[in-house]
Homo-oligomer: A and B are copies of this chain.
Amino acid sequence: MNQEPRTSRVSENTEPPSRGPQLSEQVAQRLSDAIQAGEWSRGARLPTEAALGERFGISRSVVREAISMLRNGGLVTSRRGSGSFVAEAPTVSLRLAIPDPDLQSVVEVLELRRPLEVEAARLAAERRTPSQLRRIRNAMADIDEAVEAGLSGVDQDLAFHRAIAEAANNSHFTAVLDFYNRFLHQAIRVTRTNESLRDTFMQQVVAEHQAILDAIATGDAEAAARAAATHLEHAETRLRQAPTDLLERVEAQRGPASVSSTESTGGNSR
């Protein structure tokens, strides 16, 4: 019947939905534009799905898909029985593709992380609470424990660094570092698995961690920053010393259907 609403229906607001990309995408874009143009202010209720469907000359399904996109984008929230509302605090999002990790992209990420971790260590030395200091100590002990148990200790290593970031008492540091951790997780796993076979490397790592911890414990901000900088420079060096191993492992993972031993998806975070 109205399989051709684009010709028969007169939408009171805009031209008929043109052929092109996804219809629901167009609608989502137009809604987004309308919201950001201030047609509805923060926290205000949007028209009902039925009303929006009539306004744009489309079915409720498409309206729902469009609103679903905006909801995923953090621009609106919906409450069953009540309606959909413009979000009180719209969000921006930063996205990072996770390709098959190559040395180059890992190095670039580390380059960004270094100043962040250094600053986090500095702030942690100034601001850490006693309980946060305890947590850092425990995390460091966990690394030893894991390594002695024959594990790679990667998760524990990341937890150590995360505990420091938390002690900086600025949530943006943990947020950004967590964000890039998801990228680094796999690469670090490969490298450290390799490292863990070499005792000298592990001894270095332990000593460097200890230096950071000591500086944070005594509240020496500059020493903490220096120790962190040293640690991260050495980490990059260690990474570069095993490039062939890294690439081989990555290569090997691409072939088969990737049984992907990670299985840590829900592991450390959830």
The interface of chain A, by Cβ under 8 A from chain B, is: 28-29, 32-33, 36-42, 61, 64-65, 68-70, 72-75, 88-99, 108-109, 111-112, 114-116, 118-119, 123, 170-173, 175-176, 179, 182-183, 256-267, 270
Contact = CB atoms under 8 A, between A and B. Distances in A.
B93 A93 contact: yes
Given A115-B116, A265-B29, A38 B74 contact: no
21 contacts: A29-B270, A36-B262, A36-B265, A37-B265, A39-B257, A61-B61, A65-B68, A68-B69, A69-B72, A88-B99, A91-B95, A91-B97, A91-B98, A92-B263, A93-B94, A93-B95, A93-B96, A94-B95, A94-B175, A95-B267, A115-B118
A99 B37 CA distance: 16
Q: How many copies does the complex hold?
A: 2
A28 B265 contact: yes
Nearest to A270: B29
B112 A172 contact: yes
Contact of A259 (B38, B176, B260): B38
A260 B36 contact: yes
Closest 6 CB pairs of A and B: A38-B260, A115-B115, A115-B119, A32-B265, A72-B72, A38-B257
Contacts of A256: 41
A171 B266 CA distance: 25
Contacts of A42: 258
A59 to B, nearest CB: 12
Contacts of A40: 257
**Centre residue among A65, A88, A118 by max chain B CB count within 10 A:** A65
Contacts of A61: 61
B90 A97 contact: yes
B89 A264 contact: no
B108 A97 contact: no
